[in-house]
Amino acid sequence: MHITLTMALLAAPVSAAAPVPAPTASYAVYDRITHQVTGRDVHKPIRSASLVKILIAIEQLETRGDDPRIEPMLRVSDDNAASELWVENGWEQLVVRTAERLKLEDTRPPEKRGMWGYTAVSASDVVKIYRYVLEEAKPKVRHTIMGHLQRAEKCASDGFDQSFGLPSATWKPAFKQGWSGFGDPTKPCVDRPRPRVQWDLDTKSPALHTSGTCWFSIVAVLTLHPEGTTYEKAAKRVTRLTEEVTKYRC
C-alpha cells in the first residue's frame, strides 16, 4: 500500500513553481512649502540599516559634541565609525532617547543591542528625522549633518555604490542610504573595502533605502526585496520608484 501510494505521488504532475515574492516598498514625501505628506504605508516598520546613522549623529552632536567619526559615518556610511559611536552613546538607549526627543511614532531599538542596523523605522519617522534636523535642531547640528549629507560620496567605505535612488533620480540632493542583506559587493567601487559589521551578512529580505532632501522636499523610500535579489537589481528598482515619487518635486 505504501509502495503504491509512493508511486502515485511520483507519477503525479509537478505543480507549477510558486510565484517569486515581489519587493515591498513604503515611502513618504514631505513638501516643505505646503507642509503636506504623501506616501504609501508611511507607518510600516522596517529595519533601518544605515539610516539609523542619522540618529547616531544627532545624539552625538547634541549630547557629546562634534566628532571626526561623524564625517565618514555619514559621507561614506562607515560601519566601524557607527559602531563605535553607538556604543559610546548608550547602545539601544540612543534610539529610545532620540525617538522620544524627536517624537517618532514607529521607531524602536533593535532586539539585540549590538545590531544597530536592525533599529525599526518607518518612512514617516525618517521624514520626521530630517524635519527635526532642518527645523528644530541647533544650527551647529543642522549644518554638520546636512553638510555631510550634501557631500555624501558615490562609493561607500564597504565598496557598495550608493548612488542609487535620490542621487540618480534627482539633482544635487543631500542623502543618506541604507542597505543590508546583500553579502559582499560583487564589484567593489573601492580598492580595499572596509569590512562590514558581521550581522549585516544576513540574507533574509535584503533591505535597500534612500532618503534625503531635494529642492523643497524631504524624501524617504524604504524597500525590502526577495531573498537572492542582487544589489544592482534592487538599486535599479529603488531608483525607478524614487523617480516616480519625486516627479515634478525635485
pLDDT, tens only, 103-115: 999 999 999 999 9
Q: Which residue has the higher pLDDT, 160 or 190?
A: 160
Q: What is the mean pLDDT of the chain?
A: 90
**Burial class of residue 86, CB neighbours in 10 A (0-12, 13-18, 19+):** buried
Residue 111: inside a domain, yes or no?
yes
Provide mean pLDDT across the span 59-79: 98
| More confident call, 154 vs 203 | 154
Average pLDDT estimate for 199-224: 85
**How sure is the predictor about 197, in pLDDT bands with cuts at 50, 70 and 90?**
low
Asked whether the predicted pLDDT for residue 8 surpasses 50, the reply is no
Report if residue 1 sits inside a domain: no
For residues 41-56, average pLDDT? 97
Residue in 170, 171, 201 with CA at minimum distance from that of residue 185: 201
Q: What is the pLDDT of residue 26?
A: 97
Assess if residue 10 is contained within a domain.
Answer: no
14 located within any domain: no
Mean predicted confidence (pLDDT) in 116-138: 98
Whether the per-residue pLDDT at 212 is higher than 80: the answer is yes
pLDDT score recorded for residue 191:
84
Is the per-residue pLDDT at 203 higher than 60? no
pLDDT at 4: 38
pLDDT of residue 37: 96
Q: What is the pLDDT of residue 9?
A: 27
pTM of the entire predicted model: 0.89
The answer to whether position 5 is within a domain reads no
State which residues form the domain around 49. 21-245
Does the residue 37 lie in any domain?
yes
106 in any annotated domain: yes
Q: Is residue 76 part of a domain?
A: yes
Q: How many structural domains comprise the chain?
A: 1
CATH number for the domain including 205?
A: 3.40.710.10
